[in-house]
Amino acid sequence: MGIWQMNAWELIVAGGPLMIPIILCSLFALAIVIEKFIYFSIIKENPQNIRTTIFEYLKENKIKEAIAFCEESPSPISKVLEAGLLKFGSPKEEIKEALMDASQLEIPKLEKRLTALATIAQIAPLLGLLGTVTGMAACFHTIQVRTTSMNLIAPGDLAGGIWEALLTTIAGLMIAIPAYVAYNYLVSRINRFILEMEQSATELVSHLSQI
C-alpha cells in the first residue's frame, strides 16, 4: 500500500511522536491564514475611492462629513486620514505627526500574527529533520541490539525507523512550503496597504494646506 493510499491516522502513527508538534504547527498556520484573510476581506476598500470621497468633502469644506465617513470605514487608510482630519486647522507639522502616530497604530494590526506564521514556516522543516534524526537513531539502536545478541538483522527491523524518518521530513516540508508562501503573500499585501497609507497621508496634508 502506497503512502497516498494510507489514511491520516496511519501516517501519524507511523511518523512517531514528532508528528504531533508538526500537526499542531499546521493547525496554527491554517488558523492564522484564515484569520488574516477574513481581516483583509473586512478592511478591503479601494484606497482611491476613499481618497476621492474624502477630498470631495474637503473641497466643499465638509470636514465633519469627511470625519464621519472615515469613522464608518473599517479600512486602516481611513483611520489614518481621520487622525489628520481631526487636526484640521492645526499647523502642518502637527497634522503630519498625527498621521504618523495613526500609522504606527494601524501597521501592527496589519502585521499581527505574521511573526508566528514565519516561525512556523521555519520550524516545521526543523521538526521534520529532528524526526529524521530520531528515526535513524532508532535504526542504529536496533542494529546495536541485534548484533549484541548475535541475531541477524532483517530489513523489517530497520523499516520502522526509516519510515518514521521519511514521514516526518515529508510532513515538515508539506507544512513549511505553504506556510512560507502564505507568509510572503500576506507580507506583500501589507506592504501595499502601508504604501497606500503613506500616499494618502501625503495627499491629505497637501489638500489641508490648500484650504
Cβ(45)–Cβ(64) under 8 Å?
no
The angle, 0 to 180 degrees and rounded to 10, between the axes of the packed helices 8-15 and 155-210 is: 110
- Name the DSSP letter for residue 17: T
Residues 2-53: pLDDT tens digits? Answer: 555 666 666 667 667 888 999 999 999 999 999 999 999 988 878 888 888 9
Residues 132-187: pLDDT tens digits? Answer: 888 777 776 666 766 666 665 555 555 556 767 788 888 899 999 999 999 999 99
User: pLDDT at position 155, please?
Assistant: 56
User: pLDDT at position 111, please?
Assistant: 92
CA angle 96, 48, 46 (to 5 degrees): 110
User: pLDDT at position 87, please?
Assistant: 87
Q: How many domains does the chain have?
A: 1
**Is 0.85 topped by the overall pTM?**
no
User: pLDDT at position 78, please?
Assistant: 92
In this structure, the dihedral spanned by the alpha carbons of residues 165, 171, 174 and 179, taken in order and rounded to 10 degrees, is -120
Range of the structural domain that residue 110 is part of:
3-210
- Name the DSSP letter for residue 3: G
Burial of 154 (0-12, 13-18, 19+ CB in 10 A): exposed
